Structure 1
Amino acid sequence: MAALYEGYTLCRLAATQNQSNSGILGVEAERDSDHVVVTDSTRSVTLYKVSDQKLLSSWTVKQGQTLTCSAVYNPLTKEYVAVSDSKVIRIWKQEHLLLDQAFKATVSADIWRVHCVAGAEPVVLFKRGAVRLLDSLLSAPQQPIEEVLAQEEAIRWSTNIVTESHQDVIFTTEQKGDHFLYLQRLNPNTLQRYRLEREEPGLSPLSFSASYRDKHIRLLYLYPNGHVYQSVVSERGQVTDEGAQAFQLPRSLLLSLPVGEGLLEAASAQALDEAHVAVVGVPHPSAGSGKDFLCIWNTNFQTLQAGKEMTGKIYGQLWSFWNKLFISHGKTLSVIPFECPKSSLASALGKLRQVKTEESKAPISVPSWNNILHEEKAHPSRTVESRKMRNRKSQSAHSLTHSQVLELIKTAPVEEVQREVDMLLSRTDIQDLQPLLGQLASTLVSRTLQDPVFYTPSSLAQLVHTRCLCHSVCPDLVLLVLEKKDYFMCQLCLQFFPDIPEAVTCACLKAFISMSDIDAEKGILEPDSVNFMETLIARECNPDGLLNGSSLTKAQQDKEMTSPLPEQICPVGLHKAVLLYPASARSL
């Protein structure tokens, strides 16, 4: 199970006039896993020792000059490379006290970025898409630089990747709402150009990241609607001829993240390995609105595995080096260590044995069942009783650990189990809450399967409402609640689980269709779904119900709903229709 550990501040952010800007151009790896180079958006490059949060060296350009891209470290020459005023390349060593003492060379075209990865020579990417090796460029700084991009096409993001046999510069561009991916290979020089599929009108990717695995380059990109896509590009892709139409780049949806109300404005997604993605600036599915989180998601099982709330404004900046995440937020640049063990079904189920760590981890806030409106309406007396019990429990100095609760579930009566599970989920001092959710769900379902008299619907519903579970975490849950004829729980699972297999969905449909309308009316259903279906049926039955943009009066609606229809458009009763609607929608 992936984990986020206790973070710390690396440095304060420089004050900027633009409050939407963090003041940081970039964070780059330096000589080893304990050193990074931070470039601010004004005039300074700073070397830090990460473990000590210690500033080792700092260099600043003169007043009136501006650094225009992130400085990089060349491990082959032990030198730093930066660009000022878009055209002046500066190279210096750590012992230089002033950047004016550094080597300077002025080139003939504006530079977008300088990239450098371990074991490879630095490369220069120009704003119009041309690429040069640094040494080749410095041998003739005023050499002509060709324009690769079309008119009105601008670079939005870039990186550098070294494969087994090549060095590749990867960058994305935007032109009149269309987005393109360029793959420039060096020695020999070849260029591949692809067109990204369009998302909803007006939506542009918020962030990109790229990785190399299995002889393929994998591009990860996040949209404001929370969709995280992956596109895979072969190193041996077809070379683009000058002026030729770009190839369409296929994509696959890895995650559909919760965005709350509206769209994301400042967020970033970073691939950590083949199964884990770090995301910052996206709401936590179990937290209230207005809170920003750093989260790690498992793309194999569509599960949220770790989360940490970040204070202050999020700028959508995220860097990852050596199992550490670097995040700008509020007025600080923070370092968050993380761990991503190999993805497996056992870890997704929360059954993989975890090595305990003394480093404290941020708790994940899970809403109390008392705050879930629909269940309060359905069981008001039980909700009030649970609230009183929790208040009494919170005053007690002794409460059960999660291991004790898991053991208690195996033998204790239903009332005691529901009380202790509710108490456990309402606590704020629980560490590793994400794997605990899977353990609780699996243990509750296992006990119910062994003991038909035992059943805890409110506890299971509370776990499902966290939106941190899925079918693969607890594969017996949907069929269990279907067997219990707990249609409220069936609704919740169909609504919140993104990975219910087709066979299980068909089993739900078959059960709903075969039940009588009388049996369906006896079940407690989610009120909003009932209201929605009432409105939908009313509109189908009376297509002229809207007159001059105004709806019928309440009395007219009641009359229409109760009067006999000459032709019954909906062939089933209201409650049965409520159950069939989400299940049939999933099967389409």
Structure 2
Amino acid sequence: MATLEEEFTLSAVTLGARPDGLLGVEPTDKTDHFLVTDRSRTVILYKVSDQKPLGSWSVKQGQIITCPAVCNFQTGEHIVVHDNKVLRIWNNEDINLDKVFKATLAAEVHSVHSVQGAEPVVLFRGGAARSLEALLAEPQQKVETVLSDGEVIKWSKFFVVFRHPVLVFITEKDGNHCAYVQMFHTRNLSKYTLWPGQEGKSVTLSFTAYVDRKFISLMSLSSDGCVYETLVPIYPSDTEKNQRLVRSLLLKLWSYGEHLFMLHGKCLTVIPCKCGVSSLAGALGKLQRARDPATWMAAPSGSEKHIEVELRKFLAKWTPDCHNLIGNITAGLLGRAKAEPAFYPRNCLMQLLQTHALSYSLCPGLMDAALERADVQVLQLCLQRFPDVPESVTCACLKTFLSIGDDSLQGININMESVFDYSNTEQDEKMEEQSGILRNGFSPEDSSCNRELNEKPQEPAAAPTPCPVTPQRAALLNGILCSAYSETFLLPHLKDIPAQHTTLFLQYLYFLYLKCSENAPMTLPGTHPPTLSQIMDWICLLLDANFTVVLMIPEAKRLLINLYRFVKSQISVYSELNKIEVSFRELRKLNQEKNNGGLYSIEVLELF
């Protein structure tokens, strides 16, 4: 039996200007990836388990997408139609839809259909259907009109039946419905008139269908709250005649409060239905429903110390199947904290976070409360524990970490695992000794990127660059660097960071970059420190969002010059590495061409 799990919001982005702005959601050739089509101009590729968009494509201003985008399961490409006749085909690497493959068709398109095991088909508004391959071979081919005047397609679906593609679509004219079945391997199109049956003058709201042996079971939902079923033959007895099919009553539904009543035949079934707290982690299977119905802390009372003692007792008997109960307890504590500003049970919240049972979507008020009180200890732990922190909250945490005073950080118990001892002389000497021999693949004396500097009078060796922030602040910022984000949704929020804080963060990132560059593995010491890739990504993000502002700050001028020099040196490094790679490829090719391994030879390979 199917089980309905908790819902979660995939996107808070407004889809279209009208209430019916969502045009469609279609699967792709990769599990958990879906194409979401806006009724106006945009197609977004989502990975649902991460609740993150992987790509977004839009047509030009003035153009309108007129049918949902689908995936070609044979090639992995995406297909969409805009302005009724213009067909576009692209893949994930393409950025601009205006520059991808384009074909203008001779007739208006109703929908494009694609399923596993079959070539995509295009259904035209006139009722004709063509395979995608046939249309691409001749886009301007003549398309016949099958439907009568005033007959409009209301619903369609594509199946593979016994390895053969079958297209079913429903039309409506003057309140009457017809079903069409298109068999592509025999090129037969069958038409069936759907008789009203028991629903009388009710309006059909929607359709769905599935294949049941030699029939297509077509179900329709009517405005009278009934579900009707019609069995449509896949192989008709006479394809030339307009055959008639009668709908039969399948279910009748009533809903009152938290009870759903279903009339199925002569049986009346009641299904209790109750919507709980929505949780992304629960929808991903990371949370399970609690077996223990206890809700002793849904409305906690008493002193904070008393609650802490009771919570410790509860957690001593806590089992991993009580995740939702942990969420309820957290929500109860936060509810009281909101009602009583003087009540803020930090120790209890820290204990609950340590259970690994919480997520942002399960208790979004937790990080909001911590931000309101500048509780960096709770925020740091949330960033480490939560896999679904929105980019706006991540940026709010960054602002708090950069603005809080050094004196305030001294008395806070911050996790320092990601920070190494910046004052460790032995560590610095060891790095300096390594950098004296090799610095990112170059000897300091021979580096081509320093050739211009070497021509100038030499200055005394500069002292090691000090860290621009305290170790406590560094630990908090490292949590930001290691957090998950989507660049598209993070950039707008980074523009709101004050200029002086942006400069400070860039200085810290530059310091980390220097430390990475001082050793051959190009990694930082410590437990779970930021990686070089994360450091470079955040430098790029900050400069993309605030370059104009940073450029106007005198203190940032030297920093930008240093960043430019390091980028230039990295280009030189990769250029020389590419030369070495080519040389070794040629050497491997020469070794493979040797036919007689018994002969002795000496070969000189010039790398530079």
Instruction: Identify the TM-score tier after normalising by the shorter chain.
Output: 0.3 to 0.5
Work out which structure has the larger RCO, using CA pairs closer than 8 Å and 6 or more positions apart in sequence: 1
TM-score by length of 2: 0.44
TM-score by length of 1: 0.46
The structure carrying a bigger strand percent of its residues is 1
